[in-house]
Structure 1
Amino acid sequence: MAVPPKRFASLSQFWLPSLLFVLSVVSILFTLRNDDIPVIGPTTERPLLDTSDLDSHRHEIEQALQGSSSWQIWCEKQQDAVASVRVAHFDQNPEDARWTDLRRHMPQREQDALLRCQNAVRTVGGPMHACLFLTANDKKKSPGLHLVELTLELRAQGRKKVYSCAEALKSDQPVELAAWYTYSWTSNANKKPLRFERLTGGTRIFPPLAQNAERSTASSQP
């Protein structure tokens, strides 16, 4: 005999709270007995990065950018400018085949960055984009993959005014580069799927003192 709808609703109102109460009691007793909350899912956690390591990475990248070519080279010969960036303990290796071979094992974020780097188009105005594909000097100790994605703008020194390359080359004011970077790396490229760490930051690449002195002398001449 079918249970009438009203009677079924009243039974549901009684049994559902009772079932939830019983489950709660069982969970509390289980927790007290084991003195811990049971873990559901994988027990391996992503290791936390040490702040000093992140600061060291940031310092190395910003120091490398400060030592790169002048902004004129970035405008006129960007490949030469990219090649001039020297990151401590790393070599540039844009021909590393692992970026292509292991691409399907990378997170989507790194796959997107890789596509942007491989399909970068030089624009006349607006920010400049560049990428550094790095490998450690000692590949046995650090067999990972390292990518620094750069976005650079030309600015009047000490100001927020943004120049195009054509405007900067005609300007008498000292010019500096504002650089933003995203550093993505994996310490072990042999373990799949690949897990990348990420570090973002920015810095202003000031022109050398000699360049400033030369521009000041030129602007003071009649």
Structure 2
Amino acid sequence: MGYNAAPLERLIEQFAKLPGIGRKGATRLAYQVLSMDKEEALDFARAIEEAHTKIHRCRVCQNFTEDEICAICTGEARDHSVICVVENPRDVTAFERTREYRGLYHVLHGLISPMDGVGAEQLCIKELLARIQAGGVKEIIMATNPTVEGEATAMYVAKLVKPLGVKATRLAYGLPVGSNLEYADEVTLGRSLANRGEL
């Protein structure tokens, strides 16, 4: 620990904070940054700073955007009667890759997980209910991961929207249980979307 210069050690520590990056990986990344020329390194730092200062949540769907309302929510070719409810913004990217889905999205920014101290009130559920109450929504697709937390969240949201006269469906199980939507291939994800069933 003590043989690295202090700024290098701080850089390693920052990389090590990222999920899935251990001390070895963090060290490799830090040395990679040091091998960049100064302009490249500053571009890298600026990209991180810009991502943090310019990106925020869409006022409607809670996905990340640079604008007040994201391009998907304002897209005229999108079907505004269907909302696909996902755990995080990475899942929106996964669905968009399938090119099968033309509706809108809603990002919860997490799942109900009592073990981790995450309750429904910490998720973007009230924003979803406000969208439904505004009218025009016929179906919500619960596209949370097929895990215990994903199932619990899907059932909870479905129970809330049913009295509002909206159909709640769940992705079909073309997706292996315990898997992550982010890593699913386009065909599997597209098929599970097409074969969704009512909750």
TM score, norm. by length of structure 1: 0.17
- Higher-Rg member (1/2): 1
The structure where helix makes up a greater share of residues is: 2
The structure where strand makes up a greater share of residues is: 1
